Chain A
């Protein structure tokens, strides 16, 4: 046993160790032990060092830098110049910024519930025992796998353009709008459609949640003569509410961060990057324009921190609201 421990001290099982490392130890030789502890820590930190370095260099460092830049005028070339809160006051008085906030909020408020409803609806269908169910699950999940890619956004743009599939179909029904992607008021709907189409991830989570609901509850409800809708409302929904909460939280945060699909459907390389007349100018899109097209990194940093604060607030509100509608098995927390 001794030699095995020597080569792999990390796998030592505490119970077989005459001197357990966890918990209070009354040690006869504290100095030696301290040394040993330090060495162990050192090894630990050494193994963690790639991650720590990555975190400090790639996450924490840039965040601190961006927090500093948020209070400066910084064009990437000249040294940042401290201007206090000017970026924030400029932001609030900029009509394009306010417009981007409106577009984003609209997208989140309309898109997220529809996406979750679609995910839950399909999950309910797929939760039943049927032949070929595995195939359907895979088929419905597939869009989420490929959905984040640039190519799908390009295809989407082609589908919703003037005289393309959607436009022609509409014309069959006598509706002629001349394509969605060129219309400042309609383009955002095509983005909502794109996010709804990618309901696979929340669907899988819903599916897992639905599988957890005890069958007896439905059997009891059947005995009591409750209908399908009543069962869904009084059993399914409360039982999956933790899962629902998780999905609402995740999808809301996700929606706030929409960028690539809006950037590509809205124009990408040609002309205005944010859609016709800024019709699909979501928050991150405007942030990108300010940062990379107008070289105003200070302002862009301030915008990024504003977004972080907004998402944190929304998250806090959701957490606060959960005690009103989320039911945990042990009677809530």
Chain B
């Protein structure tokens, strides 16, 4: 996840008001739009796709997308002059129809159907031009994420301070108890930390990740001392370094801003983390609190997704429905393993339970991987 200096999003369309009864599935009836200016038909063919009528007045409109037999083309998108997809229907195999509905602002648009001989055709919305050039839904999402990251890192600073103090005091049992609570806020926003060069390795490297074990620092170095050696001897400098590194992260996130794609990619990256190291029990190899990280990764992923939901709801309500249901499935799958403030140890899971958790994560990660493309738009398609 790469943070960006704040850039005005290059969006020409103003607010796209969320409409009730959006969508209608691939087989559903066209949705009704309250006070709409009516229906626009987009017919998909292998040669191209065009809207009928090609000009409509500003206001509510419902698009009926029909694939009458194109095999190479299965989707149609409405793209604004800023290159962002404002509405689309996908996976329309021959014979299927889908709809999407939205509030159209005046301006020049294109109807795009990837893979057709002619991929783009013009579509015009007449009326007064919008005043705003920033999509408030995305702006709210990125601001919300910035606040979330700051709050998590603030918690991280507090919890890491308490954990490090216990290590420096030589209180092994207390340090063990405080380890998990310090890990949680970090794991929720891990992709942000990863965007700052060597900060994440200093804080979160496992022994297998470092070129020279003598230079190994961070949480897992302390984890090994507490759970394997059972002693904090020689660990005070490592604890102090960890406190300093977390403080540095806190300074950095105060001024970091995010693009919508950062939220989407971060949400996906967190699930890849779960799939590659948490569900395998590799992350917390000594303490076995992997499910705590697992839960935190999923929480961070969901937060980013929830913030994007109002904007996504406009362009692809079906995707929102699918992803929300699968987030729920993951939460449900994890629930039986909750214990007190945390979770049972990874070593208490059976192979079947690990497999169930892994497949719930995979099931979620697949549709979530499509979000980034939805929020970036068609500019680089």
A, B bound? no
